[in-house]
Structure 1
Amino acid sequence: MQNDGKVVPLNKAAADNANQTPLARLPVVLLQVRDKAAQQLRQGLQALFDNADDTLFEMADKAHNNVEQNTFFEAMRDLRLKRKSIERGFLERLNEAFVAIGQYEIAEPTVAAPVNYDKLELVANDDLERTVALDAMVGKVLARDGLALGQLTARLNALVLKRLDDATNPLGPAMVCDYFLQAGRNLGVEIKVKLIVLKLFEKYVLADTDQLYAEANQLLIATGVLPELKAAPARRSADRAPARPAQRREDAPSAGTQPGAQLDESVQEVFGALQELLHQLRGSVAPKLESAQEAQPISTNDLMRLLSHLQQYVPASQAAQDDYDLRHQLEQLLTRVSVKSGRFRVIGVVDEDVINLITMLFEFILDDRNLPDSLKALIGRLQIPMLKVAVLDKSFFSRGSHPARRLLNEIASAAMGWGNRDDYQRDSLYLRIEQIVQRLLNDFVDDTAIFSELLADFLAFTADERRRSELLEQRTRDAEEGRAKAELARQRVQQELNSRLLGKVMPLVVVRLLEEAWSKVLLLTCLKHGDGSPQWQEGLTTMDDLIWSVEPHDEPQAHERLLQVVPGLLKALREGLTSSAFDPFATSEFFSQLEVLHVQALKRDARQPAAWAEGQEPAALVAVVEEIVLAGHGDAPQVQVRLPADDPGMLQVSKLRTGCWVEFVEDEDHRQRCKLAAIIEATDKYVFVNRTGMKVLEKTRSGLAVEFRRGSVRLLDDALLFDRALDSVVSNLRRLKNK
């Protein structure tokens, strides 16, 4: 999701402040507003979860069948388990949103962006239901408390350089809903349960926005921020205003400002700042003629015709694009036009600035290491269509939600996990991007609505792909967590076996039973009930009784105790082996041999405890001199390298977060891009998946640190492509200007 917040002026103060830490950029009063709001929102969330159990239990009680009832019970359990993480995630996103409004940068931040409630994209029915519900919730808040929110937005705009509106206000209903959606995105519940939870969110969190905005406004008024704005009247539950439709994000004005004027002012402000930096490049696109005549700029319409002509001859291959210079192509066309008309024709100043800026942006894009080479050629062919959009609409540079800009970002994001493959031209993603590029080159003249159409289509396509990959990714995570749990249980069972058998001489049949059969009973018990459960203790007791029953004893009461222990021991052994589905034939053979051992023990002469009864074949004895190692999953153990916590490689590993993309490099021709799907703390494993969600790699923490140190793995930058490009270009232009 992207942020529609306006870009700040590119002045020297902004550049100087860019080196400060994020929190230092926020005035103290804004930190107070944030903390006060966080306290109220936290209380609302706590009330939500406190009442969720009762609500879901009531729904389960009214369920029509067992399946529906179980759905609500599972949802109750899921909410309880994830309550703390959702509360923490919500408050983290609130904090990030406040940090973002204090950052001085040309590109919109990618964190805590508001949901696009004003456009129902081509989504599945479940997503559509959720979007409609969210739209209604946001609309109700705007209808009830729109005036107080507008005043808060105006006061925030007086303190930060970024242009905010009600939808990008960190305390606006769109943003608050998005914090909750993002924090709860891992809830594994059905859509009807999600809708119930959203209603609870509306009831316990959004219902008190009047208090939220009133307290925030009062804090700001107390420090002299726009005290002249008339305070919004207090709202009572009995006299709430009738609901009205929610305003579109780009149309939501700050107090006292006309929407259209605000948008135009922001667009002109940003583009004007860019033009100041581009001034030094002017004159680079001009016909190569010596003429005494005064230069006559061509119209924007004529420029669009020239670009449409060039659009039909855009090279397709990467090699040809490397040699393709758009400005040189325009120079040649202008030279021909000048010669034919007998007048010295040039491109107007504004249009030339746009050409230079777009050219520099695409130079960055085609040199970006985060873009796979196999897709650079396709994206490079979009240079002229994007230039035409920028010529027609300067908000392309200032509005993060601009369809053309967003289409470019979405294509780059979808391609993040792309690997260099020989059969890429048969891949569905590559084919879809190729269709988009070809459609723009063939059909785009000057109607920018085509970008909205292609964006909606591409979002529907990527949403479908993402759902499939997330499903497989979740299965991968579940499997890895299951493996980790099984490994810990295996080590626990192994520890108990060795503590009892290592260094002892025991009948071979008993050692084999404990190692091959009873270990599985204990393993299943540990996995199902845990190693602190009564069932686990019973399993250990059975093992202890079995070992004691086949050992020689010289104490007088041993005979009586053996008579008492054996019946219960045999019963416990039989039930345990049956529950673990142990081979019944092997079980029968074992009990036959165990019976012989117990009979010999009962007939043994108390004065000769080590002797076997007359006529009985002594059992085969073994000395357990090596540690028992139970079979695992067959994975070869990875060599662990001990590194200090402040090792550069370990510090880089500590920055990895679930969901980030990395690239492993064997050599120039063999690179593998994958996403960190899970960090298994118990076994110190980092699990990576490919673009489809399938597991491709598994690394230990220290193993990853070593690879970071030798440069064979690097973290990919998943920030928005256009925004990174614009930020880089602006930085370069500033350096040129200051030379």
Structure 2
Amino acid sequence: MVEHGRPVFERYLDTLGKELLEYADQAKTNQEQSEYFSISREFKQQADELTRYFLGYLGEGFIKFKNQELDTTTGEEKFQGDMLSLVDNEDLEETIAISSITRRSENYYAEPIWSLNQRFAVLNHGRKVNERGNPVSPVQYCESLRRALCLLNLDTKAKLIAYKTFDREYIAQLGDVLDEVNEYLVAEGVLPNLRYAPVNEQAPPVPLVEEMGIEEVGVEGVAPEASEVQLPGAQVPPAGGGARPGMAPGAGPGVVPAPDPGLPPEQYQGHLVDAIRTLQGHIAQLGQGAPGAAPIAQGAPVAGAAPGEVGPASAGGAVGGVAGGRQALVYTSQQLVGALQGLQSQVLAVGEAQPGQLQPVNIAAATGEIARELRNAEDGEDRAVDPTDMHTIDLVGMLFEYMLSDDNLPDSVKALLSYLHTPFLKIAFIDKSFFEQTEHPARLLLNSLAEAGVKWVGNDGSSQYDIYEKIKNAVSRVLEEFKNDVRLFAELLLEFSSYTKKISRRQELMERRAMEKVQGEEKLREVKMQVNQEVRSRTDGRELPSAVLLMLLQPWSDYLAFILLRYGDQSDSWQRAVHTIDDILWSIEAKENNADKTRQLEMHDRLLESIETGFETIGYDQAKGKKLLEALFSLQKMALQSKQVEPAPEPMRNKLENLAAEKAGQSVAKQDRATPEEERMVENLKMIEFGTWFEFSGGKRLKVAWYNSKTLHYMLVDQMGKKVAMKSGLQLARSMLAGEAKVIAGSTKPFFERALENIFQSLNTKAESMDKDEAEGS
């Protein structure tokens, strides 16, 4: 790879230099022209170093792969999720450029890259390899270029030109390298018979027709041939066993194994929807026992055919099924959409409702209403719904049923979004591949609305940044304006995303400032805890007078905290300050021999000077400091006279120690001692992630923006990012055990993907149960 890369990279640099000169010729100002000339010269002067670094980074990828450490990203991960990284625009634009090149090239070279992933997995001791861990995937070349360009002082414009040229001149020739590496591995005997069979998007999902004995009813009652959909080198097994294409190996029991989440998002979503449709067909077969279209006149909920085309439903009047011995006409997609248009009548209820007043749509009742609407669509005609269309109706219904049961979403947002059920059903009929499209604007809009609801709407009726109104306006516009043009969703997505990005940045700034302040406070608390432990380790178990306890637990502890914060616990200053404690304690012990008395007299001035310096450093009250020193001097005189000092009374000592502990953030009250159950809950709280949401009594939602793993103090912010409270782990544990607080199970996955995964799991469980019941019945 490195041998191939050198001449190609050198040609790339040569072409880049020429393009920069062309940009210079087209420059509008002398300054801009001069900058392009300067950049072109710098590339030419540093060509050898750039080539060496670029090839070196490529070679480093193979070393990391060998050590199982290769995991190269494009950098876009920083700009995803709830937390919006506050980086400069240059970083963002560079990341976008790299991500675009990587995605485009991975799609273009999908076949050789997939083959290399499988072969490298063999070399990786059977561990899965994806593009991030493949040493010759496009992302490795882009990352090597990114790191090599760090040699030069380039602005964003120059970098973007470099990436654009790299895409055209270098990545365009990457296919030869990928093929050569594949051929080399084949020659070495690494999966020589590996085959890549791309998914046919025009074919139906993976059928279970032959294995399950299900017939597909087509035009004139002729059963079409089953069309197998294969992933590379895979075979389609029966439903009851083996691995299906794109399914995760070793998946748990079930009628259909779970799709492999390591697949690219588009493929993973496609296989997930295929699996759901397969399960729908299987469940329908077990429940209905008869294939064919579902006649609405008969009220059949779901047809029993396997997933797949059931004749040309779009050709109005096609035979769809048999009802009472008569053939029923099948509704076309256009007829279904037309019938659903009449159901978008809830707009006034949505537009006028306030938070908490709007009742959610009853999805089961809505499905029944759809059936009634279809029955009334064509008077006198006995019509049926294509089985795949019935599956679509059920799937959209399950999507919104999941939404209504999602604890992440506040109730008021659930109610609002439930009114999108009918519009989304229309979309699914208009665009048959809707569920497979991860970037469909309607799907992205629903994800954005749901995410915003979680972040800025509470179950206590609160709504930050007018988000509830924004969500309501978006839903109202869909109900009012959506006929059959999905561009409306793209427009709404653009408006809503633009608004939420601005407030996300504002919230992030506020949250970050609050977090930095709290982190400083927590650092001080940690220091005080360490100081208190250091002092107590020397005073516990010893009978000491009140003056010494007061000095060590108050002003001298403050001085130790100052030294620890400024210089650390490895510094000479810290060691001297701690050693002073030992000297003070030794100096008040009764001296029985002349050697100890002589030593005490010799150290007296040095000890006095050390204590005075400490008091001055922290600005301790001079009068109080003088009294403490006088008391210490009296105790030292008694020690020289071989007299025992009088210890502090027990109540006084307890008071001083408790005050010091509380000052260090260590509560000693009896009621704050945890029970075993509370201790277990505290241990569980140690494992929660930053960004975890809690819902407290009354519906108020607060987020754990940060917590200190040493002091177990949790910083809670509201939905605007403003700090609301600092709670100890014990306080949170008690609130949870008392039912006053609960964790809202969050997820980094978008709403739509979570819903599909939940639907798949539910259907798989149901199918498995039905299979078991059928087996026991037979």
Establish whether TM, by shorter chain, passes 0.5.
yes
Return the alpha-carbon distance in structure 1 between the equivalents of residues 527 and 597 of structure 2. 36
Equivalent residue, structure 1, for 2:368 = 328
Correspondent of 1:313 among 307, 323, 346: 346
Per-residue deviation at 1:393? 1.5
Per-residue deviation at 1:335? 3.8
Per-residue deviation at 1:306? 3.0
- Cα distance change on mapping 1:546 and 1:476 into 2, 3 Å: same
For the 8 Å contact 1:689–1:697, the answer to whether it is kept is: no
Return the alpha-carbon distance in structure 1 between the equivalents of residues 406 and 555 of structure 2. 57
Equivalent residue, structure 2, for 1:224 = 191
Q: Which amino acid aligns with 2:564?
A: C
Return the alpha-carbon distance in structure 1 between the equivalents of residues 131 and 425 of structure 2. 29
Equivalent residue, structure 2, for 1:682 = 710
Matches within 5 A, 1:306-705: 306-313=339-346, 316=350, 318-319=358-359, 321-322=361-362, 325-339=365-379, 342-417=380-455, 420-424=458-462, 428-475=466-513, 478=516, 482=520, 485-501=523-539, 508-548=546-586, 553=591, 555-556=593-594, 561=599, 564-587=602-625, 590=628, 593=630, 597=634, 601=637, 610=643, 622=648, 626=653, 628-629=657-658, 630=660, 631-632=662-663, 636=667, 638-642=672-676, 656-661=688-693, 663=695, 670-671=698-699, 673-678=701-706, 680-684=708-712, 688-693=716-721, 694=723, 696=725, 698-700=727-729, 704=733
Correspondent of 2:755 among 714, 725, 732: 725
For the 8 Å contact 2:136–2:178, the answer to whether it is kept is: no
Per-residue deviation at 1:220? 6.3
> Which secondary structure state, in structure 2, belongs to the residue aligned with residue 698 of structure 1?
strand
- Cα distance change on mapping 1:159 and 1:491 into 2, 3 Å: closer
Per-residue deviation at 1:376? 0.8
For the 8 Å contact 2:707–2:714, the answer to whether it is kept is: yes
For residues 648-694 of structure 1, give each alpha carbon's deviation from its aligned partner in whole angstroms, at most 9, with x where no partner exists.
x6896676444444556x6xxx4554444445332355655444443
- Residue ranges of structure 2 left out of the alignment (5+ in a row): 1-63, 122-127, 145-153, 197-230, 233-266, 301-322, 351-356
TM-score (norm 2): 0.57
> Which secondary structure state, in structure 1, belongs to the residue aligned with residue 675 of structure 2?
coil
Q: Structure 1 residues 568-577 or 481-490, which shifts more?
A: 481-490
Residue 133 (str. 1) matches residue 88 (str. 2): no
Return the alpha-carbon distance in structure 2 between the equivalents of residues 706 and 426 of structure 1. 25
Q: Which amino acid aligns with 1:312?
A: S
- Superposed CA RMSD in Å reads 5.8
- Cα distance change on mapping 1:127 and 1:338 into 2, 3 Å: farther
Q: Which amino acid aligns with 1:639?
A: R
For residues 551-585 of structure 1, give each alpha carbon's deviation from its aligned partner in whole angstroms, at most 9, with x where no partner exists.
66464466765554344333322322222232345
Q: Which amino acid aligns with 1:307?
A: L
- Cα distance change on mapping 1:451 and 1:500 into 2, 3 Å: same
Per-residue deviation at 1:156? 5.2
Return the alpha-carbon distance in structure 1 between the equivalents of residues 639 and 334 of structure 2. 114
- Residue ranges of structure 1 left out of the alignment (5+ in a row): 1-86, 96-111, 181-190, 230-252, 255-261, 612-618
Return the alpha-carbon distance in structure 2 between the equivalents of residues 347 and 114 of structure 1. 47
For the 8 Å contact 1:150–1:166, the answer to whether it is kept is: no
How many residue pairs end up in the alignment?
A: 565
Equivalent residue, structure 2, for 1:151 = 112
For the 8 Å contact 2:682–2:729, the answer to whether it is kept is: no
> Which secondary structure state, in structure 1, belongs to the residue aligned with residue 614 of structure 2?
helix
Equivalent residue, structure 2, for 1:283 = 294
- Cα distance change on mapping 1:267 and 1:153 into 2, 3 Å: same
For the 8 Å contact 1:407–1:455, the answer to whether it is kept is: yes
For the 8 Å contact 1:414–1:462, the answer to whether it is kept is: yes
- Cα distance change on mapping 1:299 and 1:480 into 2, 3 Å: same
Per-residue deviation at 1:295? 3.9
Per-residue deviation at 1:714? 5.0
> Which secondary structure state, in structure 1, belongs to the residue aligned with residue 361 of structure 2?
helix
For the 8 Å contact 2:336–2:374, the answer to whether it is kept is: no
Return the alpha-carbon distance in structure 2 between the equivalents of residues 560 and 263 of structure 1. 83
For the 8 Å contact 2:402–2:755, the answer to whether it is kept is: yes
- Cα distance change on mapping 1:467 and 1:536 into 2, 3 Å: same
- Cα distance change on mapping 1:459 and 1:166 into 2, 3 Å: farther
Return the alpha-carbon distance in structure 2 between the equivalents of residues 386 and 165 of structure 1. 37
Equivalent residue, structure 1, for 2:223 = none
Q: Structure 1 residues 275-284 or 464-473, which shifts more?
A: 275-284
Q: Which amino acid aligns with 1:680?
A: N
Per-residue deviation at 1:533? 2.6
Q: Which amino acid aligns with 2:378?
A: S
Q: Percent identity?
A: 23
For the 8 Å contact 1:358–1:383, the answer to whether it is kept is: yes
Q: Structure 1 residues 500-509 or 452-461, which shifts more?
A: 500-509
Return the alpha-carbon distance in structure 1 between the equivalents of residues 333 and 620 of structure 2. 82
For the 8 Å contact 2:690–2:706, the answer to whether it is kept is: yes
Return the alpha-carbon distance in structure 2 between the equivalents of residues 265 and 506 of structure 1. 75
- Cα distance change on mapping 1:172 and 1:420 into 2, 3 Å: farther
For residues 445-472 of structure 1, give each alpha carbon's deviation from its aligned partner in whole angstroms, at most 9, with x where no partner exists.
2221222233233333333344344445
Return the alpha-carbon distance in structure 2 between the equivalents of residues 308 and 538 of structure 1. 82
For residues 330-364 of structure 1, give each alpha carbon's deviation from its aligned partner in whole angstroms, at most 9, with x where no partner exists.
3333344333xx54455555444322321232122
Return the alpha-carbon distance in structure 2 between the equivalents of residues 691 and 136 of structure 1. 33
For residues 228-255 of structure 1, give each alpha carbon's deviation from its aligned partner in whole angstroms, at most 9, with x where no partner exists.
99xxxxxxxxxxxxxxxxxxxxxxx99x
Per-residue deviation at 1:510? 4.3
- Cα distance change on mapping 1:728 and 1:271 into 2, 3 Å: closer
Return the alpha-carbon distance in structure 1 between the equivalents of residues 273 and 628 of structure 2. 88
Return the alpha-carbon distance in structure 2 between the equivalents of residues 170 and 503 of structure 1. 62
Q: Which amino acid aligns with 1:319?
A: Q
> Which secondary structure state, in structure 2, belongs to the residue aligned with residue 319 of structure 1?
coil
For the 8 Å contact 1:685–1:698, the answer to whether it is kept is: yes
- Cα distance change on mapping 1:176 and 1:540 into 2, 3 Å: same
Correspondent of 1:716 among 745, 750, 757: 745
Per-residue deviation at 1:538? 0.9
Name the structure, 1 or 2, with higher relative contact order (CA <8 Å, separation 6+).
Answer: 1
TM-score (norm 1): 0.60
Q: Structure 1 residues 411-420 or 513-522, which shifts more?
A: 411-420
Per-residue deviation at 1:521? 0.2
- Cα distance change on mapping 1:375 and 1:172 into 2, 3 Å: farther
Return the alpha-carbon distance in structure 1 between the equivalents of residues 180 and 362 of structure 2. 57
> Which secondary structure state, in structure 1, belongs to the residue aligned with residue 454 of structure 2?
coil
Per-residue deviation at 1:405? 1.6
Correspondent of 1:304 among 337, 352, 365: 337
Return the alpha-carbon distance in structure 2 between the equivalents of residues 671 and 362 of structure 1. 22
For the 8 Å contact 1:390–1:396, the answer to whether it is kept is: yes
